Structure 1
Amino acid sequence: MISVTSWIRHKHSFTSFNVNISQIMDGRDRTFHLLQVFLCFFVFASTEETKQNCSQVQCPGPLIYYNDVGCTPVYKNEGDCCAYKYNCDHLYARSPNKCYIKDRSYEIGEFASQEDIKFCDKACVCVSGKNSTRFWCFDISYEYDPHFDVSCYLKRNIHECGPGIPTCPKNDSEIPQCIVDRYRYRDGQSFKPIKEPWKWCVCQEGYKGDNIEPFCITTGIRCGIEYYENIDIANKNAPIYRPYGNSAISCTNYWRRQNANDTVISNAIGPTAPDENSSGEEDLICKFGNLTMNIGDELSQNIYNYPNCARCVCEVPPTPTCKIDYYNYLSEPALRNCFYFNDTVISNPNNSASPAENHSGETDPTCKFGDLTMNIGDQLSPSTDYDSPRVNCTCEVPPTPTCKLLNSSFVFW
């Protein structure tokens, strides 16, 4: 008799297997085994569907960095959604006197091919910089009419780099809208789908939730890290992802660079997965400068230098994942100096706070944020950094300001 296990292993013999069961089973046993077959088929089909729909956004590691510089994902098992490491060997054999985009090299003075540059760059040429080579790109500039009618908006499409064509509807109800990942966008606004981070999309009339042309295109080069960051790549530095930034889809210009005080904290986040280090592969490690990290190891933090405040953990080799947790400083006061976003204090004009308002018996009812001092009711200025989260920080109960994430109907990038 062919077992259910055998059927799963030889899934293409379903028909003959069903006949064999029908021939040798009857009554309750036959019904029971047919039910087993049906359930196995349902589970198997569901598993296949899950594999097909899995998204890299759910995977750990600095994925957008790996994608941008042309690293190759390596999977433990066929059909896995997430790579357990990436092959980035090509990055470490590069000449300091050339420019690179993925697997293509350019001499100083040579222009990059159009397929290797960003969608909206006119041209990029390899130049010699102070510390390393880099690309110098010519952008397309646009002039705006200073008397632009405020009742109009700019209608763009995915094949335009500029702001789009001025469109003047009779009323707002005529403007098409798109709902994407629970956010609302208006006609002409760009968005990136959470589960398809490599696509660039524009809301247009007729969008029904399918991220295909003419609403979306797939971009090969997302952040252009290799344009300007060759020395960081060569030195095995790690990109830093800002508060609430997803390392699978978020671009960054910040880097964690090695300093003389850096040390490796062994497996600071707890035990690794049972088979994570059992493959016997010597390259299942992260490299940071001249330091080596095993899976789960963490870099020490330098609280006196903002870029070094990021928490860096070896998750998916060979580059550690570095990210700042915005709320860490609330529970770890030593990290308060990590958050310098050109902040200033906005004084509360109605401030009439008295020492008794802090309920602590202290005579100085102020909040401390880095080297800033806030009276009760004072707020921190909104960050000028577009990558920062929309957060409102107010001095309510000293000595730490209360920070709350603001809601928004639109996301711009």
Structure 2
Amino acid sequence: MINKKYIYTLQVCVFLFSIISADEQSSICDKSRCKGPVKYYESLGCTPIYSDADNCCPIRFNCDHLKGRARNKCYYRGRAYEIGEALEAENTLPCDINCVCSEGWKDIASFSCAEVDCFGLADPGCYLKSAHNQCCDWPQICPANETNLATCELDGKTYYDGQPFTPTSEPDLYCICGPGYTGQNVEPFCKNRNSESYPCDADLRGAYDIHNNCTPAFYINQNPATECNLMSRCQNKNDEVLKRTATTKTELETIDNPDWTCIFGNLTMNLGDELNQGTHYDSVCIRCVCEVPPYPTCQRLPDNECDVTVHAKFD
């Protein structure tokens, strides 16, 4: 006869194991291995869609909320702004100063922010004290004139209170020395450059690109899944879709499904399709492939594969 107490204990153990397994699965989600411009999608507020086998890397995103946006309004973090309206202070980063919704280029409203110059220099033997929540205007600190100044020891170097550093073993971290630092590279001392603390702010900087279905483009040393794009590729008259023959069951099933297509300007791409290269300055040595809809993933090719100085004359 089976002991009921044993069955109950077994059920509890199974339940606890399922919780631990879920936590472990969540903790080992490494977005750097994902395909597609994941961080760009997240910045736009798009909804990730996952497969049944992987709840870490999205297989596509739903960005339907971007459709039908008015040309005469600015958008940021789910709110629409009228022309002349200032961006809410609580939604800004330290260097987003005096951002106002303006008419923008080609009648597409966009935010215009104050130019920020952070090239201040400290006197010899001194440094400018940084802070995660401050943009420029850093006070000058001269250690020789200070007493009880907090220090941080890392990688064989000494940093003073307010001095930034990046751990050799964790290059994605941006840290600032402060009182209480014990060698643990965690907040409030360190922030991950690929985290929500450093959003791409695509709405704030790229209204024209969003309205025209341009796509983010990345340099060869960037990871599109975890980093922000520093350039974009927009459609021109010479752009074409290079069709790829579907070979897998998944590709065959997605050909006629609009949820599995990428948009680029007024062009439509199926999974695996690419854009032709070298059609304008923003597409020289840039490979664009539809892999995580609704935007193609575009990235510079390495110099040993493509010479960026060799291209046709563009209008």
Measure, in 2, the Cα distance between the counterparts of 1:216 and 1:225.
20
Measure, in 1, the Cα distance between the counterparts of 2:187 and 2:177.
11
Offset from partner CA, 1:263-308 (integer Å, 9 cap, x none): 222338x956x54664785311111112111222111112663434
Aligned-partner SS, 1:176: strand
Measure, in 2, the Cα distance between the counterparts of 1:246 and 1:229.
19
Is residue 240 of structure 1 aligned with residue 234 of structure 2?
no
Q: Which residue of 2 aligns with 1:257?
A: 234
Q: Structure 1 pair 76/320, CA: closer, same or farther in 2 (3 Å)?
A: same
Measure, in 2, the Cα distance between the counterparts of 1:256 and 1:168.
46
Q: Which residue of 1 aligns with 2:131?
A: 157
Q: Structure 1 pair 195/52, CA: closer, same or farther in 2 (3 Å)?
A: farther
Structure 1 segments unaligned to the other structure (5+ residues): 3-12, 20-36, 340-369, 372-413
1:321 to 267, 290, 297: 297
Measure, in 1, the Cα distance between the counterparts of 2:83 and 2:119.
32
Alignment of 1:129-144 (within 5 A): 129-131=104-106, 132-138=108-114, 144=120
Offset from partner CA, 1:373-398 (integer Å, 9 cap, x none): xxxxxxxxxxxxxxxxxxxxxxxxxx
TM-score (norm 2): 0.76
Measure, in 2, the Cα distance between the counterparts of 1:139 and 1:315.
36
8 Å contact kept, 2:175–2:185: no
Q: Which residue of 1 aligns with 2:263?
A: 287
8 Å contact kept, 2:151–2:158: no
| Two-structure CA RMSD over aligned residues (Å) | 4.0
2:201 to 224, 228, 235: 224
Q: Which residue of 1 aligns with 2:276?
A: 300
Measure, in 1, the Cα distance between the counterparts of 2:167 and 2:103.
34
Measure, in 2, the Cα distance between the counterparts of 1:106 and 1:219.
23
Offset from partner CA, 1:171-227 (integer Å, 9 cap, x none): xxx963446xxx989552265999997x86434461534432244386466233222
2:9 to 5, 15, 23: 15
Q: Structure 1 pair 260/167, CA: closer, same or farther in 2 (3 Å)?
A: same
Q: Structure 1 pair 126/295, CA: closer, same or farther in 2 (3 Å)?
A: same
Letter in 2 for 1:95: A
Q: Which residue of 1 aligns with 2:35?
A: 60
Q: Percent identity between the aligned chains? A: 33
Q: Structure 1 pair 14/153, CA: closer, same or farther in 2 (3 Å)?
A: farther
Measure, in 2, the Cα distance between the counterparts of 1:221 and 1:229.
16
8 Å contact kept, 1:55–1:195: no
8 Å contact kept, 1:293–1:314: yes
Measure, in 1, the Cα distance between the counterparts of 2:36 and 2:92.
25
Give the total of aligned pairs. Answer: 294
Structure 2 segments unaligned to the other structure (5+ residues): 145-149
Q: Which residue of 2 aligns with 1:388?
A: none
Letter in 2 for 1:130: W
Q: CA deviation at 1:123?
A: 2.4
Q: Which residue of 2 aligns with 1:96?
A: 71
Q: Structure 1 pair 105/191, CA: closer, same or farther in 2 (3 Å)?
A: farther
Q: Which residue of 2 aligns with 1:383?
A: none
Letter in 2 for 1:176: C
TM-score (norm 1): 0.60
Q: Structure 1 pair 78/144, CA: closer, same or farther in 2 (3 Å)?
A: same
8 Å contact kept, 2:110–2:204: yes
Q: Structure 1 pair 258/155, CA: closer, same or farther in 2 (3 Å)?
A: same
Measure, in 2, the Cα distance between the counterparts of 1:255 and 1:267.
23
Offset from partner CA, 1:123-170 (integer Å, 9 cap, x none): 21101123121111135666846xx43222223222222263333345
Q: CA deviation at 1:309?
A: 2.9
Alignment of 1:332-347 (within 5 A): 335-336=306-307, 338-339=308-309
Aligned-partner SS, 2:258: coil
Quick one: higher RCO (CA 8 Å, sep 6+), 1 or 2?
Answer: 2
Q: Which residue of 2 aligns with 1:25?
A: none
For structure 1, which segment, 120-129 or 200-209, has the greater mean C-alpha deviation from structure 2 after superposition? 200-209
8 Å contact kept, 1:200–1:219: no
Q: Structure 1 pair 18/130, CA: closer, same or farther in 2 (3 Å)?
A: closer
Whichever of the two has the greater Rg, that structure is 1
Measure, in 2, the Cα distance between the counterparts of 1:157 and 1:143.
15
Q: CA deviation at 1:14?
A: 7.2
